A and B are shown apart, each in its own frame.
Chain A
Amino acid sequence: MSTTPQPAFISVVGATKRWSNGVTVLDGITLTADRGDFVSLIGPSGCGKSTLLRILAGLTPLGAGSVRLDGMAPEAAREIMSFIFQDATLLPWRTVRSNVELGLELEGRTPTAQRREISASMLRLVGLSDVAHLHPRQLSGGMRMRVSIARALATRPRILLMDEPFGALDEMTRDLLNEELLRLREQERFTTFFVTHSVSEAVFLSTRILVLAAKPGRIAREIRVPFEGPRSAELRSAPEFLRLVGEVSTALRSVQCDNPPENP
């Protein structure tokens, strides 16, 4: 890792987390991310990738080590951070528009008229202007996730934490949302940490992929994704893309073989 004169945008040093039952979920994780990075965390279940994400968000307290986001501790950095969960976590009693405005409303700094404007533009951004007045249960899974993304972006976050957001969607919807996420990133320039189980999704989206190993959770490999310029759907069939998918898959497999299932 190269040392830069100024501190990294996001830095995690020696992050360690033990559950109360003695299991070490994360063991001395050290990583940095620059502005605009898209870092995917991939690994077998139990490797602590979701826990790492929750620590970055300040939702899970850190055991030992330090986490800095733009020079702030996680709790303070929530101002510039949004979290997107595995399910869309929309409030079923609110309309789509009012769900998108939730973050701004809770912060309480934006007047109503301006909230309206922002939610309208966010919904336009994710292509859901037509359904602004509907309730979440009237939407498909993919649309709900789009609303969730619009809500996260409405507060103009500089850091986006995504915990396997497309895991429950069918492959076609997932591909579409992947492309949409890339487009949003071009526009909004947020720095992303992205937990996923899908290798091709990780390669398609990321600038860097961290392969985590389990028991205890640690970074086993870091793979840079060197594609230049804007990415499009065609990238998925490019030889370089497929080579990287192969490389990540191999890394993932070797990590899983290191930790054979324990038989008591």
Chain B
Amino acid sequence: MRRLLAQVGWPLAVLVAVITVWDLACRWLAIPAYVLPPPEAVLRVLVERRGNLASAFRVTAVEAGGGYLMSIVAGVLIALFFARSPLIRRSLYPYTIVLQTVPIVAIAPLILMWFGSGLRSVMLVAFVICLFPIIANTTQGLISVPRNLIDLFAMANAPRSAQLLKLRLPYALPSLFVGLRISAGISVIGAVTGELFASSNAVGEGGLGYSITYANSQLQTDYLFALVLTASLLGFLFFFTVAALEWLCLRQWHESAMRADAD
């Protein structure tokens, strides 16, 4: 019980403090609502427009989730390929770093130009931004299998497939989860960014990014706040789903999960 209080209590106290300061600032400094809406206005809009928010949430969740899942499949396959030889890694790894270093806002318009401004393109933007952390971490895990373990499998004359399924993949699982956790959050960033560009072509059902552009252009700052909160909720949900999955998979044997358990 005390542990729960410490875990939830302190973040909650911070939240209350921030909201109080925010509220007081709006009153005393007489900030216009289109610059900084007071907390209760944001709350009101959250309730009143929950229908809009929910449908925008759904659209963005599908885009971010779809891109995320695609990046997991592709990322793991690419990592498996990279783990085959140092030569492959040396020749191709620099190009994957490009994925990470070129700003997504620069790639997003290109993707939309090439693939049209539909849901598929936004998904692709999320996919591109999620890919690198998964490739990098999974490759790292796959290539750090200790020599003795590989020799152990060699002594048993284990076929390549057994070595992959029973040694390399399980060994790389904790590293894969590191990548999954990083990408869970940024998949939402990718989807929202993608929509910012798609919105000029007015996709029928707008997601959070599209709605943010719209709210911004209409100076509906309270709605904008509500949308940003909804977007962070989505990122949070992704992150915690992955964290829970990680705990389930690793709690029995991996240090990181065990330590979190003991805290």
B113 at the interface (CB under 8 A from A): no
A222 at the interface (CB under 8 A from B): no
- Whether A91 lies near B167 (C-beta < 8 A) is yes
- Whether B252 lies near A89 (C-beta < 8 A) is no
Which residues of chain A come closer than 8 Å to B253, judged between CB atoms? 92-94, 135-137
Which residues of chain A come closer than 8 Å to B149, judged between CB atoms? 89, 91
Which residues of chain A come closer than 8 Å to B102, judged between CB atoms? none
Main SS class of interface, B: helix
B148 at the interface (CB under 8 A from A): yes
- Whether B151 lies near A59 (C-beta < 8 A) is yes
Q: A87 to B156, alpha carbons, bound, how many Å?
A: 18
B258 at the interface (CB under 8 A from A): yes
B49 at the interface (CB under 8 A from A): no
Q: A30 to B107, alpha carbons, bound, how many Å?
A: 65
A139: shortest Cβ distance to chain B, in Å?
12
5 new A-B contacts, CB < 8 A, other than A78-B156, A102-B156, A106-B157, are A59-B151, A83-B155, A91-B149, A106-B156, A107-B157
Q: A113 to B199, alpha carbons, bound, how many Å?
A: 61
Query: Which of B156, B157, B158 counts the most chain A CB atoms within 10 A?
Result: B156
Q: Mark B156-170, 1 if CB is under 8 A from A, else 0.
A: 111000100011001
B40 at the interface (CB under 8 A from A): no
Neighbour of B148 across the interface among A78, A85, A137, A155, CB < 8 A: A85
Minimal Cβ-Cβ distance residue in B for A82 = B155
Interface residues, chain B, with chain A CB atoms under 8 Å away: 146, 148-149, 151-158, 162, 166-167, 170, 173, 252-255, 258
Which residues of chain B come closer than 8 Å to A106, judged between CB atoms? 153, 156-158, 162, 166
Which residues of chain A come closer than 8 Å to B152, judged between CB atoms? 83, 85, 89, 102
Sorted nearest first, the 10 A-B pairs with minimum C-beta distance are: A106-B156, A106-B158, A85-B148, A92-B253, A89-B148, A93-B253, A135-B253, A83-B155, A93-B170, A59-B151
A103 at the interface (CB under 8 A from B): yes
Q: Mark A102-124, 1 if CB is under 8 A from B, else 0.
A: 11011100000000000000000
- Whether B155 lies near A59 (C-beta < 8 A) is yes
- Count of CB-CB pairs between chains A and B under 8 Å: 55
Minimal Cβ-Cβ distance residue in B for A75 = B157
Q: A86 to B153, alpha carbons, bound, how many Å?
A: 16
A57 at the interface (CB under 8 A from B): yes
Which residues of chain B come closer than 8 Å to A89, judged between CB atoms? 146, 148-149, 152
Q: A87 to B258, alpha carbons, bound, how many Å?
A: 22
Which residues of chain A come closer than 8 Å to B155, judged between CB atoms? 57, 59, 78, 81-83
B194: shortest Cβ distance to chain A, in Å?
37
- Whether A103 lies near B258 (C-beta < 8 A) is no
Q: Mark A133-159, 1 if CB is under 8 A from B, else 0.
A: 001110000000000000000010000
Q: A92 to B254, alpha carbons, bound, how many Å?
A: 7
Which residues of chain A come closer than 8 Å to B148, judged between CB atoms? 85-87, 89
Q: Given A135-B253, A137-B255, decide whether A91 and B153 contact each other with a Cβ distance below 8 A.
A: no
Contacting residues of chain A (160-210) with chain B, CB-CB under 8 angstroms: none
Which residues of chain A come closer than 8 Å to B170, judged between CB atoms? 91, 93
Q: A78 to B158, alpha carbons, bound, how many Å?
A: 11
Minimal Cβ-Cβ distance residue in B for A87 = B148
Which residues of chain B come closer than 8 Å to A107, judged between CB atoms? 156-157
Which residues of chain B come closer than 8 Å to A91, judged between CB atoms? 149, 166-167, 170
Cross-chain pairs A/B with CB under 8 angstroms, 15 sampled? A57-B151, A78-B157, A87-B148, A89-B146, A91-B166, A92-B254, A93-B170, A102-B156, A103-B156, A105-B166, A106-B158, A135-B253, A137-B253, A137-B258, A155-B156
Which residues of chain A come closer than 8 Å to B153, judged between CB atoms? 106
- Whether B156 lies near A93 (C-beta < 8 A) is no
Which residues of chain B come closer than 8 Å to A81, judged between CB atoms? 155
Q: A137 to B166, alpha carbons, bound, how many Å?
A: 18
B49: shortest Cβ distance to chain A, in Å?
47
Which residues of chain B come closer than 8 Å to A59, judged between CB atoms? 151, 154-155
Q: A215 to B97, alpha carbons, bound, how many Å?
A: 45
B236: shortest Cβ distance to chain A, in Å?
29
B101: shortest Cβ distance to chain A, in Å?
34
Query: Which of A86, A135, A136 counts the most chain B CB atoms within 10 A?
Result: A135
Q: A82 to B156, alpha carbons, bound, how many Å?
A: 8
Which residues of chain B come closer than 8 Å to A82, judged between CB atoms? 155
Minimal Cβ-Cβ distance residue in A for B149 = A89
Q: A129 to B114, alpha carbons, bound, how many Å?
A: 63
- Whether A85 lies near B255 (C-beta < 8 A) is no
A79: shortest Cβ distance to chain B, in Å?
8
Q: A151 to B151, alpha carbons, bound, how many Å?
A: 14
Neighbour of A85 across the interface among B151, B157, B258, CB < 8 A: B151
Contacting residues of chain A (194-252) with chain B, CB-CB under 8 angstroms: none
Minimal Cβ-Cβ distance residue in B for A83 = B155
Q: Given A85-B148, A87-B148, A137-B258, decide whether A93 and B252 contact each other with a Cβ distance below 8 A.
A: yes
